[in-house]
Structure 1
Amino acid sequence: MRLPHPYGIVAGAWYPPDRQTVDEAIAAGDVDARTAADLGYRSLPMSPESSPPEMAVLAGRQVLRRVACAPEDLSALFHASVHHQGHDAWSAPHFIADRLGASSAVPVGLLQQCNGGAVGIELAVAWLGRDPRPVLVTTADRFLMPSWHRWRTDYGMAAGDASTAVLVHRGDRLPADLLLHSIVTTVASDLEVMHRGDDELNATPLGHSPTIDVRRTKRSFIRAFGIERFVKTVHDRIQTAVVTALADAGLAPDDPRLRYAVLPRLGTKAMAEAYISPLVECTPAPLLDLGRDTGHVGAGDLNASLADLAVGDRLEPGQFALVLNGGGGFTFTALVAGRPLPPK
């Protein structure tokens, strides 16, 4: 999406205090040593008590307080998730909006799998074209048995519990941690079968297996189509997103102001095969991996990376980061964010 002007971003993340180290996971038999080495995580945050919507409220309050934005001034609240949110036939976004006090915000739930938070930011920009009031994008996921084994449910990743909040505004009234200069999403809907396999669509949750098993559907996909189809499509869509996002932001691939190319929070082996290879062909910017102590945080990988970039000194004023993400279905998002220059 080519933006008419930079948009302000204020980003934060909340992580539970409990953690499982990789050594603890190996000792407990949750993951074998070879798989753990391929994943490359050091630890995963775990939330045994707080539900995902409650976690989202904590991240949202953190962001709103930091920028002194009144909850009632929000025009919309977009909430993205991958896994169960705590109740059935119920709206988590409305719960989050109510607990935050965002009485005028339109609550919207997003089901874009692992790219939900990124798509939420893109939708927030579109929303701001019709309403000048800020938009809050939240994500939250918690991965618990018996429905989800955080180390074994999927290949190429292990799941950490976390929530994120990103306030998106027009940049004319509120302060900003970062400025959003471009955001581009590409699509490969024909790959939805990777998370469905050859299963028929059924009428009840967990009707195919007592625990969600993405490994099973991926094996079915590879038997039917081969891994080459997936890799070729993914590389094409990632490169299109990255090249377009840089161009829309007015940056050459080798612009010295482009400080980082930020990776999703997948396992290191999977990331090398699916993301790093096409990314380094598009830009020589140094790669930044922020997920070794968080794991893959469901719908919030890109948003959590914005939260990390928002604090500390990774970006100096006038420097930029390209942030890349993808999610089942599939969609791929690349955005360019920069540290604002000090006022003259």
Structure 2
Amino acid sequence: MKLHSGLSLLATAWYPPKRQTVEAAIEAGHVDRRTAGDLGYTELPVSEDVAPPDMAVLAAHGLLGRSGCDPDRISLLFHASVHHQGHDAWSAPHYIADRLGAHSATPVALLQQCNGGAIGIELAAARLQGDTEAGPVLVTTGDRFLLPSWDRWLTDYGMAAGDGATAVVVHRDSSLPTDLVLHSIATAAASDLEVMHRGDDELNATPLGHSAMISVRRTKRAFVRDFGVDRFTKTAYDRIRSVVEESLADAGLAPDDPRLRYAVLPRLGAKAMRDAYIPPVAASTPAELLDLGTTTGHLGAGDLNASLAELAERNLLAPGQFAVVVNGGGGFTFTSVVVGVQER
């Protein structure tokens, strides 16, 4: 999406204080040493007591308080998640809006798998471009991955899941501060890859009807057996390269622009990123690759949004510098955003 002008972003992430180190997970038999080495994480945040929507409220409350943004000015609230939010047949985004006092916001749930937070930012940008009177848009994510329904180390290949939440405010209000400027966002889908998370299962009538614990490994084994791994890697390479190049072009940046400081990767395991993400990103730009997920793991719907928060909170970009932040999610959908820090 080419923006008429840059939009302001405020971003933060919230993590529970408890951590499970990789060494502790290996000693407890949760993961073997070889798999842990392929993942490359050092620890994962674990939330046993705080549900995902409450984590999102904590993240958003802190962000709104820091920025001075009145919750009642929020015009739209997107909440993205991957796993169970704490109740059935219920709306987590309405709960979040009510807890925040965002009573003028329209709450919307996003089920875009691991790309949900990124899509929320894209929809927020589209809303602000299409309605010049719209107030700030809040995008939250929140996920936790607990047994018996999800094994954070073994439910999926190529990643281990950390618990946490993010909050991003997208706005164009000069009275509010700016952490980062959003210059462009590009998304491409590969809907034929939805079968990777379905395998050869029939569509059933009840949750967890295929197995008591969610197993993405099982469906991916079926996909590889029927189609081969190259079907995914070739399609992913094409889509990732396409969105990175499109987002850079829409931001007015050449791939080798010296102001482009980083290309930020998703928070997947090291081997998965070497196989699927690093080749197309490196082919699209020589910018330095940045992996921010070694101490968080994969954050469900929140990877890209957490990386925006970390870019801002750690001051990783100097004024006048840019980063391209890349993400993907089952279905499949791939997104690339270009953000920068304003010149002083």
TM-score by length of 1: 0.99
- Using the alignment, how far apart are the partners of 2:196 and 2:26 within structure 1? 28
Contact in 2 for aligned 1:7/1:171 (Cα 8 Å): no
The answer to whether structure 1 residue 198 and structure 2 residue 200 are counterparts is yes
- Using the alignment, how far apart are the partners of 1:239 and 1:263 within structure 2? 13
What residue number does 1:98 align with? Answer: 98
What residue number does 2:304 align with? Answer: 302
What residue number does 1:151 align with? Answer: 153
Change over 3 Å in CA distance of 1:78–1:248 after alignment to 2: same
What residue number does 1:256 align with? Answer: 258
- Using the alignment, how far apart are the partners of 2:321 and 2:99 within structure 1? 36
Pick one of 271, 285, 307 that aligns with 2:287. Answer: 285
Residues 34-79 of structure 1 show CA distances to partners (whole Å, capped at 9, x for unaligned) of 0000000000000000000000000001111111000000001000
The residue identity in structure 2 corresponding to 1:32 is D
- Using the alignment, how far apart are the partners of 2:34 and 2:95 within structure 1? 41
DSSP-derived class of the 2:6 partner: strand
What residue number does 1:34 align with? Answer: 34
- Using the alignment, how far apart are the partners of 1:307 and 1:111 within structure 2? 22
DSSP-derived class of the 1:47 partner: coil
The answer to whether structure 1 residue 67 and structure 2 residue 67 are counterparts is yes
DSSP-derived class of the 1:11 partner: strand
Q: CA deviation at 1:171?
A: 4.6
RMSD, aligned CA: 0.7
What residue number does 1:6 align with? Answer: 6
Q: CA deviation at 1:340?
A: 1.2
- Using the alignment, how far apart are the partners of 2:322 and 2:22 within structure 1? 33
Pick one of 314, 322, 332 that aligns with 2:316. Answer: 314
Residues 98-130 of structure 1 show CA distances to partners (whole Å, capped at 9, x for unaligned) of 000000000000000000000000000111122
- Using the alignment, how far apart are the partners of 1:298 and 1:193 within structure 2? 19
- Using the alignment, how far apart are the partners of 1:211 and 1:280 within structure 2? 36
What residue number does 2:180 align with? Answer: 178
- Using the alignment, how far apart are the partners of 1:46 and 1:313 within structure 2? 26
Contact in 2 for aligned 1:6/1:171 (Cα 8 Å): no
- Using the alignment, how far apart are the partners of 2:314 and 2:264 within structure 1? 15
Q: CA deviation at 1:173?
A: 3.4
What residue number does 2:335 align with? Answer: 333
- Using the alignment, how far apart are the partners of 2:242 and 2:110 within structure 1? 24
The residue identity in structure 2 corresponding to 1:204 is T
The residue identity in structure 1 corresponding to 2:85 is Q
- Using the alignment, how far apart are the partners of 1:325 and 1:222 within structure 2? 22
- Using the alignment, how far apart are the partners of 1:312 and 1:269 within structure 2? 26
The residue identity in structure 1 corresponding to 2:296 is T
The residue identity in structure 1 corresponding to 2:104 is S
Matches within 5 A, 1:19-168: 19-128=19-128, 129-130=130-131, 131-168=133-170
Q: CA deviation at 1:138?
A: 0.1
- Using the alignment, how far apart are the partners of 2:134 and 2:99 within structure 1? 23
DSSP-derived class of the 1:104 partner: coil
Residues 201-258 of structure 1 show CA distances to partners (whole Å, capped at 9, x for unaligned) of 0000000001000000000000110011111000000000000000000000010100
DSSP-derived class of the 1:159 partner: coil
DSSP-derived class of the 1:192 partner: helix
> What stretches of structure 1 move > 3 A for 4+ residues in a row?
none
DSSP-derived class of the 1:166 partner: strand
Q: What is the percent sequence identity of the aligned residues?
A: 69
- Using the alignment, how far apart are the partners of 2:248 and 2:336 within structure 1? 9
Contact in 2 for aligned 1:8/1:177 (Cα 8 Å): yes
DSSP-derived class of the 1:147 partner: coil
Q: CA deviation at 1:132?
A: 2.5
DSSP-derived class of the 1:10 partner: strand
Point out where structure 2 has 5 or more consecutive residues left out of the alignment.
Answer: none
DSSP-derived class of the 2:114 partner: helix
DSSP-derived class of the 1:222 partner: helix
What residue number does 1:233 align with? Answer: 235
- Using the alignment, how far apart are the partners of 1:237 and 1:268 within structure 2? 20
DSSP-derived class of the 1:301 partner: helix
- Using the alignment, how far apart are the partners of 1:237 and 1:288 within structure 2? 20
The residue identity in structure 1 corresponding to 2:208 is L
Contact in 2 for aligned 1:181/1:336 (Cα 8 Å): yes
- Using the alignment, how far apart are the partners of 2:284 and 2:334 within structure 1? 15
DSSP-derived class of the 1:115 partner: helix
DSSP-derived class of the 2:65 partner: helix
- Using the alignment, how far apart are the partners of 1:271 and 1:221 within structure 2? 19
The residue identity in structure 2 corresponding to 1:25 is A
What residue number does 2:267 align with? Answer: 265
